[in-house]
């Protein structure tokens, strides 16, 4: 069966520090991969999605970047965190061309101080 792993679960980082959040999927190949952010009271904001290795689409220009170095690995990064980067970050995957929807990871609570 397919599983998605996301870590760390919580993170407290100072302003200006770098960020790396990792997400991996097991049990499937060539998934679509997604990074979302939830800020309090603001719903789900799609940050990046990827339909294949090295293919990254950005939905919102901001202080973050994403990479997909391997088929089932998706990384969210920042060189210098801002206070506004605080939030709950969710990774998700889906299959191509199906109506299966997304499967979400358990999320990372990022607090920038």
Indicate the pairing of strand 108-112 with strand 10-13: parallel
Q: Which of residues 80-109 bind other proteins (CB under 8 A)?
A: 88, 90, 92, 94, 96-107, 109
Tell me if 14 contacts other proteins by CB under 8 A.
no
- Cβ 106 to other proteins, closest distance in Å? 5
Distance CA 35, CA 48 (A): 5
- Partner residues linked to 90 by β-bridges: 36
Q: Which two tokens stand for residue 62?
A: 């901001």
Instruction: By CB under 8 A, name the binding residues for other proteins.
Output: 6, 32, 42-44, 46, 49, 51, 88, 90, 92, 94, 96-107, 109
């Amino acid at each position: 069966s397919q599983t998605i792993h996301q870590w760390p679960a919580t993170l407290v980082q100072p302003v200006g520090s770098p960020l790396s959040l990792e997400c991996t999927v097991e049990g499937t190949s060539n998934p679509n991969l997604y990074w979302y952010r939830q800020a309090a009271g603001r719903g789900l904001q799609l940050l990046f999605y990827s339909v294949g290795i090295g293919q990254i689409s950005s939905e919102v220009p901001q202080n973050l970047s994403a990479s997909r170095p391997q088929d089932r690995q998706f990384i969210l990064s920042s060189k210098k965190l801002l206070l506004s980067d605080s939030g709950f970050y969710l990774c998700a995957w889906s299959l191509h061309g199906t109506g299966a929807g997304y499967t979400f990871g358990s999320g990372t609570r990022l607090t920038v101080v």
